[in-house]
Amino acid sequence: MTMARSSSSRPAVATVLLLAVSALCAALSSATVTVNEPIVNGLSWSFYDASCPSVEGIVRWHVADALRSDIGIAAGLIRIFFHDCFPQGCDASVLLSGSDSEQNLGPNETLRPEARKLIDDIRAAVHAACGPKVSCADIITLATRDAVVASGGPFFEVPLGRRDGLAPASRDLVFTLPGPDTDVPKLLGKFKNRSLDAVDLVALSGAHTVGRGHCGSFNSRLPPNADDGTMVPSFRRTLAAKCAKDPNAAQVLDVRTPNAFDNKYYFDLIAKQGLFKSDQGLMNDANTNRTATRYALNQAAFFDQFSRSMVKMSQMDVLTGNAGEVRFNCAVPNARRGDISSGQLGDEGLAADA
């Protein structure tokens, strides 16, 4: 009897295993997005195939290793990517140190030092393997993509060949970055000025599925300020108590799955648990509501558009060819290499509102 049961169960076990493998393959396939965005300004899908074929493997290894110790670095990398590209293009200018550094300005004061250091550590490893062939701007792009993947988000190819900028963005350009209290009409205007549309806005905002914000970035929505009805009362009370106890306290941006890159951020918005005014507004504004709702119901649709919007953003005003340079240190233009001091990396900034 026992042998008969064992023998007859083998096909069933095999079927279960086959179904499990099929489900796994489907899951992996759904997390890989093929993006056919047009390539501009001399970028290429195969830019380093000859000069540094190991670059993507080196970046991927370092990102995965860092995230094993601190998953928060994923949000830090995403924020660096956005804060680099949005003001004057993806040129690693946000990493430059000095008295005129972008990091000294309000929107960038909380960029994670650990994420900045990781980028330069990757630069050192890549340059050791290939020589000074790969720009810090390309490393930011690759590391951000790999952080998204390592957190559970989609894999997408990114075109490469960016050069590093020689100077930081101006104060005026840096302050074009959207803030946590920016309403949707102003967000749409800021994004339109950078050739990004409403769909890009909703998809890229989904990066807030990982990361955290500090009380100062959302206290305009808490008592004693008036309740505008856009935050569920129990959540508002919890946040108010937390910030009253510690005005510098951090709060995860996605209350459901704070360390996973998924579509639960949009569920938060439906439940009126978006942390920032800029987030919750996506669900309350007629220009963005349908798209945000769609991403809450369809993670594959969110992953697809997020990938497309990231590739689109990664090509903003890039420097290629003879423009810019490949920095020997991500914090310092090559002309200033003699000014490098041991304290220039990792000694600025607070934990990120990212």
Which residues are known to be catalytic? 83
What DSSP letter does each residue of 84-95 carry, written as one string? Answer: HHHHH-SSSGGG
- CA–CA dist 277, 153 (Å, integer): 24
Q: Which residues of 55-72 are buried (b: 16+ CB within 10 A; e: fewer)?
A: bbebbbebbeebbeeebb
- CA–CA dist 283, 294 (Å, integer): 11
- Coil, helix or strand for 130? helix
Q: State which H helix or E strand residue 252 sits in.
A: strand 250-252
The angle subtended at Cα 112 by Cα 109 and Cα 115, nearest 5°, is 140
For tokens 């856009």, name the residue.
230
